[in-house]
Amino acid sequence: MGFFGKIFGHKKAQTNSVKRTPIKPGQAIVPKNENVIKLLDLKNYIDSLMDAERYIAKSDYLEKIKEYGAVIDFFVVLKSSGMLESFCRINETSMSEVQNTITAFTDIEKLIDRHNEEFITKTMVREKEYLDNILKAIDPAVSLDDDQRRVVLTDEDYCLVIAGAGAGKTTTVAAKVKYLVDKQGIKPSQILVVSFTNKAVNELKEKIRGTLGIECPIATFHSTGNAVIHVNTPDEKLNIVDNSRLYFVIRDYFRGSVMQNESVVNKLIMFFASYFDAPYEGDDFNGFFNNIAKANFSTMRSDLEDFKCKVIDARTKKSVTIQNEVLRSH
């Protein structure tokens, strides 16, 4: 079989017409060209994604889509060389269907983003009553705003939530956990909630485990990392140090390593000096710090002692952040 025979999927060129096998009534046309079969498979896969009544994360489709890169390249070459129309005619394939599939492959992320936006918009309406009452057990007065509801419904691999202190991030996490258990069928043991401080962890435990009754693991980053180390290296005897122990660890490190290296000490002095009177040029560190010791570095807060400024929304009379986020706690 020659080069064009391989491309067009037939062994013998026809001078006037293409010889085709008779098709029985009701019998579907099955393409025999391997690239056409793969392209149709890709089209069906993309159609199934667009028809899915769920949020589609990038991990759900990106790796699968990459498998079709070679077949798309094949059709792009045909199109750029002006041979696509002839190829489609010989293989009884819709040229517009091929072109639409190429476009869908190229714009797949935009298509999925549009699908997910439509899914969230519809689900916010469909599940309004559920979302209105999702945290009533914790506090009857709590009502998630639209941004919080989007966080709850978003099922992406990585979802970054940015909000000021007191804007309701912890509340949103509690709602997210309940939604995953109630609506997505996720087992509580498969949900890991981590936070930075013991205070935040205790608050999450009180809301999620205590009030909502969802027994999922909740821990700080430190204890989670420590648990991972113990699972993988059981013989490794590591523990999370408290603040007093941490002080002595850092002190011993400075005495045994940092302070023994004059170059490192000078660089460290310059680093801290940059916070007082940057930039400093010279070698008289004693004179420099004598001047620093006499300087006044009092802050507005220290001068005004307990002065506090509370921003109040004129319409709702609720406390808000400088980014106009309504505070749920103070």
Share of the chain above pLDDT 70, in %: 74
Question: Residue 192: is its pLDDT beyond 90?
Answer: yes
Q: What is the mean pLDDT of residues 136-150?
A: 91
At 311, list the tokens. Answer: 């921003």
Per-residue confidence (pLDDT) for residue 2, from 0 to 100: 42
- Confidence bin at 24 (pLDDT 50/70/90): low
- Confidence bin at 182 (pLDDT 50/70/90): very high
Per-residue confidence (pLDDT) for residue 278, from 0 to 100: 52
Return the number of other C-beta atoms located less than 10 Å from residue 34's C-beta.
Answer: 12
Per-residue confidence (pLDDT) for residue 18, from 0 to 100: 39
Angle at which helices 108-126 and 146-153 pack, to 10 degrees? 120
Q: What is the mean pLDDT of residues 124-129?
A: 95
- For the chain, what is the HEC assignment? CCHHHHHHCCCCCCCCCCCCCCCCCCCCCCCCCHHHHHHHHHHHHHHHHHHCCCCCCHHHCHHHHHCCHHHHHHHHHHHHCCCHHHHHHHCCCCHHHHHHHHHHHHCHHHHHHHHHHHHHHHHHHHCHHHHHCCCCCCCCCCCCCHHHHHHHHCCCCCCCCCCCCCCCHHHHHHHHHHHHHHCCCCCHHHCCEEECCHHHHHHHHHHHHHHCCCCCCEEEHHHHHHHHHHHHCCCCCCCCCCHHHHHHHHHHHHHHHHCCCHHHHHHHHHHHHHHHHCCCCCCCHHHHHHHHHHCCCCCHHHHCCCCCCCCECCCCCCEECCCCCECCCC
**3: Cβ contacts below 8 Å, ≥ 6 apart:** none
Question: Residue 36: is its pLDDT beyond 90?
Answer: yes
Dist CA 191 CA 315 (whole Å): 39
Long-range contacts of 8-11 (CB under 8 A, 24+ apart): 8/33, 8/86, 8/87, 8/90, 8/91, 9/33, 9/34, 9/36, 9/90, 9/91, 10/90
Instruction: Answer with the residue of higher pLDDT: 110 or 297.
Output: 110
Question: Residue 117: is its pLDDT beyond 50?
Answer: yes
**33: Cβ contacts below 8 Å, ≥ 6 apart:** 8, 9, 91, 93
Question: Residue 322: is its pLDDT beyond 80?
Answer: no
Per-residue confidence (pLDDT) for residue 249, from 0 to 100: 85
Nearest Cα to Cα of residue 58 among 157, 146, 148, 201: 157
Amino acid at 144: L
Q: What is the pLDDT of residues 260-292, one digit of tens each?
A: 888 888 888 777 766 665 555 666 767 766 776
Least confident piece of the model among 138-142, 204-208, 237-241, 259-263: 237-241
Strand partners, 194: 219
Per-residue confidence (pLDDT) for residue 270, from 0 to 100: 74
- Confidence bin at 13 (pLDDT 50/70/90): very low
Amino acid at 287: G
Q: What is the pLDDT of residues 40-83, one digit of tens each?
A: 999 999 999 999 999 999 999 999 999 999 999 999 999 999 99
Asked if residue 177 lies in contact with residue 190, where contact means CB atoms within 8 angstroms, the answer is no
| CA Rg value for the chain | 32
Dist CA 4 CA 207 (whole Å): 68
Nearest Cα to Cα of residue 104 among 60, 26, 150, 48: 48
